[in-house]
Structure 1
Amino acid sequence: MSAIRKRRWIENFVGGIFVGLGLMLSAFILWYHRETLLPEFFSNTPLPSIGQPVQAKVVTAQDLQKRLDTIEAKKRAIEEAHLAKIRAEQEAKRRAAEEKRRAEEAAKRKAVEEKRRAEEAKRKTEEAQKKAAEEKRKAEEAKKKAEMAKQQAAEKAAQEKAAKIAAQKKAAKQKIEKEKAEKLAAKKKEEQQKAKTLAQQKAAKEKAAREAAAKRKALAEKRAKEAAIKAKKAEEAAKLAAISAPSLSLSSFDDKQQAAAQAADKAALDAATQAFIAAVTAKVWSGWIMPQGVPDNLHAKVFIRLDKKGNISDVRITERSGNRLYDNSVLTAVRAAAPLPMPNNTELLKILLKEGVELNF
């Protein structure tokens, strides 16, 4: 069921209830006033007995309507009388309630007035007490003011004395602070001069360090070139010794020829050794970063163990220079140069792999 149909059904239902109540009320009124509205039916006039002639009267529609109008008028009169009675009862109740309200308001006003009078009396009593307390307070305040004035005078004298002492202390303190400030200023000036001198010395040292670094770099480049030239010469000497060596078998040599061959082999080995040392030294010097502040005349001896490809398996200082920075830089430069150039001479290669090599830097 939709909301609209439901609402209409409720409205019709309620309307039907009100219509039914109206009909019931009308029926009650008709019954209650039956003798007045329908005297013909409810009068005490005896009905004609059986056998007596009945006088019949024809009732017209007009008579019937007139009779209905009369009944309706009587009905309205009865309803109005009933309503008038209800209104009279309501008016009586209203008047009684009004009289009761007026009586209550009068009692309330009386209570309020009595309360006001009591409060007024209380207020006057409190004002009298307050006035007495105020007079007492003023007397005590006057006494306190006199005592305070006396105390303030004593405090003022003490403050003036304390201020005088404080001024003397302040002057002495200012004098001490002034002397201290002058000393600090002199010390600061001295420190600034010292800092300036140190800065100049630092700048001079840095300049000298830069010049020394440039000098070391030039020296390293020079040593690398010299080592390269020496390696080239040694390599050429080794090649020349190899060419000059006799190719005959040892069984065909006489003692003199054998000695010459051995001398040629030794010369070739020495030349290959010099070439190897020069090549390694040149490579190490080419990547060596000399630390600042290290003298130029230092030397250290380093032992190096290699494999066939020139990779370094061990490196250590065997003779120190006396300068830790220099020794560490030597080890770093040797490790950075790996793999080192290996010789073509078979005999020298065997010696290097077995015994290692010791170089001076």
Structure 2
Amino acid sequence: MPTRKLGELEVGAQGLGCMGMSHAYGVRDNEEESIATIHRALELGVTLIDTANVYGAGENEKLVGRALAGRRDQVVLATKFGIVWTEQGMSARGDAAYVKQSCEDSLRRLGVDHIDLYYQHRVDQDTPIEETWGALSELVAEGKVRYLGISEASAESIRRAHAVHPVTALQSEWSLWTREIEHEVVPACRELGIGIVPFSPLGRGFLTGAITSVEQLPADDMRRGLPRFNEDNLGRNLAIVEALRELAAEKGVTAGQLALAWVQHRSADVVPIPGTKRRTYLEENVAAATLELSEDDLARIEAAAPADAIAGARYPEHLSRAAGR
């Protein structure tokens, strides 16, 4: 796999998101396959492995730590802090004491002595971002963290964080059906030399065409509660996937590979992290990292999946409050 730069940090052109191995997407009963998927990713040249303290209430970090035992030098290990759950839904915390304790807890669960890329998962509106990033810069000085990132942040928050300590990467949702960051956030990152790490580049699996009804999803799958997956919006969104499938067939690839290749072609500073817990899907995703698309191909893809044609909000209200601050 070719490599790309996130700021000064060199990684494989595509990373692996590990959230679904322990969190959010239903049945999680095959740790052996999840670990085998991480090992296969390393064999294929994937070096950026992404987790977070909130995934599975810490269980995902433990799983990733077990998978990377004896392989630490092959990996750019990324994790996150900052999301907290309350009775009102998802919120954020960024006070200095919490930042430092979260780092210690993640190091312990991962079984490592440093984190390569440590993200602020969401911006805390009750704590000045300068306090959060002051604490993060101290973690860098102590050698516990190498590089810093921020997730789902506004252009203003990114600029304020960057003024305290260089931001290496922004992690936000970016795909053919989620393009809001293109207006202000991406230009700010390009101006400041910040790499971009799109999560859910396959629209939480929807752009693969594999999901045609919400009833296919496990009862505890978070996508059942997302507006774009409800039956009112599903038909309109499936029409977009069908158009992608027709274009993909012309190139002998899947709709998912075409959608993922579109993200890969956003620029050389973009490193998507599609998530999977199975080697078969991993190998399909990795193949998209080297799929060549012409300007005409890209134009046709965007015509098939125009940003304003997507039906439904990205999140329900209780999950959207902390996004994009």
- For the aligned pair, the TM-score class normalised by the smaller chain equals under 0.3
Higher helix proportion: 1
Larger strand percent: 2
Question: More relative contact order in 1 or in 2 (CA 8 Å, sep 6+)?
Answer: 2
TM-score normalised to structure 2 length: 0.15
Larger Rg: 1
What's the TM-score once normalised by structure 1's chain length?
0.14
